[in-house]
Structure 1
Amino acid sequence: MLPLAVILAVALVGGYLLRDVLGFEALRDNRQALLAFRDQHYALTVLAFMAAYVAIVAFSLPGALVATLTGGFLFGTFPGVLFNVSAATIGAVGIFLAARWGLGERLAARMEAGHGAVKRIKDGIDENQWSMLFLIRLVPAVPFFVANLVPAMVGVPLGRFVVSTFLGIIPGGLVYTSVGAGLGEVFARGETPNLGLIFEPRILLPILGLCALAALPIVIKATRGRKGL
């Protein structure tokens, strides 16, 4: 339980102490200093930004969305999206490993040795791991923290988790990184960015299309199973 306890403790303390530091207002007020530092020390800025992003995700600190916007603001849509997705994936791996070392291995083993509904759920997840992993990444309603914990609890291999996380968060990461890339104009007008952009039909419908594509193997397997019955 120690890894999960550490994450929980840091999340609680960090959420209280850093709620103002990691907010949108902090980015707006310090934007000129950040841009000046980036221009003078580009490589160092990339490393510092990614380290901060990894810590935010790994310890479930507030400000992950603002960090994504910052990546776009500082580095543009590209390579900003690459920095954002890479850092978020590394941080997600931290939570995944903490959960697996804490409760995941024992819980997965217990589910595997179980009977009845629990065993059927575990078998269903195992048979459709790739589809399930991509679905929980693509569906906007699934919290990022939950999407990191669930795979650890059902015994998903680390490599499969890394690949599905990196690829699965690219669509949403690309949307918010592009919003961050346009923050200069938003700041100049004294406005606030539209963070609900991902739920607009022109953005949401393609993502839902990807969700349907990810779910297709599950549907096909279920249909074949019923025909076999």
Structure 2
Amino acid sequence: MGVQDLLKNLLDWVANLGFWGPAAFIIIYNLATILFVPGSLLTLGAGVVFGVFWGSIYVSIGSVIGATFAFLIGRYFARDWVAKKLENHEQFKAIDQAVGQEGWKIVGLTRLSPIFPFNLLNYAFGLTNVSLKDYFLASWIGMLPGTILYVYVGSLIGSLAQLGMGERSRTSVEWLFYGMGLIVTVIVTIYITKIAQNALNQKIK
């Protein structure tokens, strides 16, 4: 059984739990985030199972708690392992320099862009000097737009059986979001690179 089939089975189980469904979903999302499992299928599934409003709330809670646990693991329990994983990651080096200058702003901006690796960044930010409070708030706010969109798309799919099944036509809202995501990615990349370069120049001086 692949990861996708496992997640679909878990979502089906959650859908039949009744009152305990939301709590089970949040725990599953939390664990998936810590274990580097992509959250897109779970987020889409939340739209199917819970609808847009409650699905967005449950995904938001699960993702930010999971991201916070990963941050704490990276900072206090697996610092050497995370550092080794990132030692040749040029993108993170620039982000690290930028966080040193702008802190929570960089955390929030990277959450807005779909290009930056979400699960890896959770651990990576634990190596930076950003505070837990700033990391938590910036991550939560930065992840909200993408969370709401994916839950909304999931609500349009209609059934868990159709999750991950082939291509379908995208809505105008999706195309708008993807276009904005591309623009944000370009802006964030330029911004981070500029700040990182300024930080390096200051060190050289």
Q: Distance in 1 between matches of 2:187 and 2:72?
A: 28
Alignment match, 2:108: 134
**Counterpart selection for 2:77 from 85, 96, 102:** 102
**Counterpart selection for 2:45 from 60, 63, 70:** 70
Q: Distance in 2 between matches of 1:17 and 1:183?
A: 21
Residue by residue over 1:131-186, the C-alpha shift from the partner in whole angstroms, topping out at 9 and shown as x without a partner, is 21112111111111222122111121111111111111111111110111112179
Q: Secondary structure of 2:5's partner?
A: coil
Alignment match, 1:56: 32
Higher relative contact order (CA 8 A, sep 6+): 2
1:72 aligned partner, one-letter code: G
CA contact (8 A) 1:197 1:203 kept: no
1:139 aligned partner, one-letter code: S
**Counterpart selection for 2:121 from 138, 147, 157:** 147
Identity of aligned residues (%): 23
Q: Distance in 2 between matches of 1:194 and 1:179?
A: 11
Q: Secondary structure of 2:6's partner?
A: coil
2:23 aligned partner, one-letter code: L
How many angstroms does 1:75 deviate by? Answer: 0.8
Q: Distance in 2 between matches of 1:216 and 1:143?
A: 17
Report the count of equivalent residues. Answer: 186
Residue by residue over 1:75-115, the C-alpha shift from the partner in whole angstroms, topping out at 9 and shown as x without a partner, is 1011111110110111111111111013549x99xxxxxxx
Residue by residue over 1:59-80, the C-alpha shift from the partner in whole angstroms, topping out at 9 and shown as x without a partner, is 223x522111111111101111
Alignment match, 1:176: 150
Name structure 1 gaps, 5 residues minimum: 1-15, 109-119
Residue by residue over 1:29-77, the C-alpha shift from the partner in whole angstroms, topping out at 9 and shown as x without a partner, is x85x754x25xx2x3111111111111112223x522111111111101
Alignment match, 1:112: none
CA contact (8 A) 2:4 2:41 kept: no
Name structure 2 gaps, 5 residues minimum: 84-93, 200-205
Map 1:193-212 → 2, pairs under 5 A: 194=168, 201-208=175-182
2:33 aligned partner, one-letter code: V
Q: Distance in 2 between matches of 1:162 and 1:136?
A: 13
Q: Secondary structure of 1:132's partner?
A: helix
Q: Distance in 2 between matches of 1:217 and 1:57?
A: 27
Q: Distance in 2 between matches of 1:217 and 1:96?
A: 23
1:133 aligned partner, one-letter code: V
Alignment match, 1:85: 60
Q: Distance in 2 between matches of 1:19 and 1:218?
A: 34
Q: Distance in 1 between matches of 2:33 and 2:76?
A: 18
Q: Distance in 2 between matches of 1:204 and 1:121?
A: 23
Q: Distance in 1 between matches of 2:39 and 2:195?
A: 36
Q: Distance in 2 between matches of 1:200 and 1:183?
A: 13
TM norm structure 2: 0.70
2:146 aligned partner, one-letter code: G
